[in-house]
Amino acid sequence: MNAMRDVIGLLSEWRRLSGQEREAIEREDWQGVADQQGRKARLREDITQAMLFFRGGRPAALNACAAHEPIVANAVSDLLALEALNRERLRAKRRDRQEKLERLNATLRRLQKLRRAYGAESAVRWQSYS
């Protein structure tokens, strides 16, 4: 059953890439995340082709494919759960980054106010000594 092995192999590769994507998210390696997502996008096409072949096999092979279909369905279900976890990890990192950016922007605004308040006064003082 080559078609089934191909599908399972491709799904296993997706699982591996999802694990690498998770690690990249945890390290905040955004280029690594993009690389893994690009690899998965290319792999999606291979999986689609393999699934078409898997389901469109010869009549004699259909019974064998049907027997293995729950295995494929379970693997896909597991991968969808991994994707949901990675998506939630990304959302959490984005929220954290957004909060940090807002705090930094507030600090910058306070520093700019201080600079305007003290900067203008000190410029006047220096001019009076010239």
Residue 4: pLDDT over 70: yes
Per-residue model confidence (pLDDT) at position 127 = 61
**pLDDT band at 130; cut points 50, 70, 90:** low
Residue 35 CB burial class (10 angstroms; 0-12, 13-18, ≥19): middle
Summarised one tens digit per residue, pLDDT across range 12-54 is: 999 999 999 999 999 999 999 999 999 999 999 998 888 887 7
Spatial distance between the Cα atoms of 12 and 98, rounded to a whole number of angstroms: 34
The amino acid at residue 20 is: Q
**pLDDT band at 60; cut points 50, 70, 90:** very low
Summarised one tens digit per residue, pLDDT across range 64-77 is: 556 667 888 899 99
Summarised one tens digit per residue, pLDDT across range 75-90 is: 999 999 999 999 999 9
In our burial notation (b when 16+ CB lie closer than 10 A, e otherwise), range 74-96 reads: ebeeebeebeeebeeeeeeeeee
Per-residue model confidence (pLDDT) at position 9 = 94
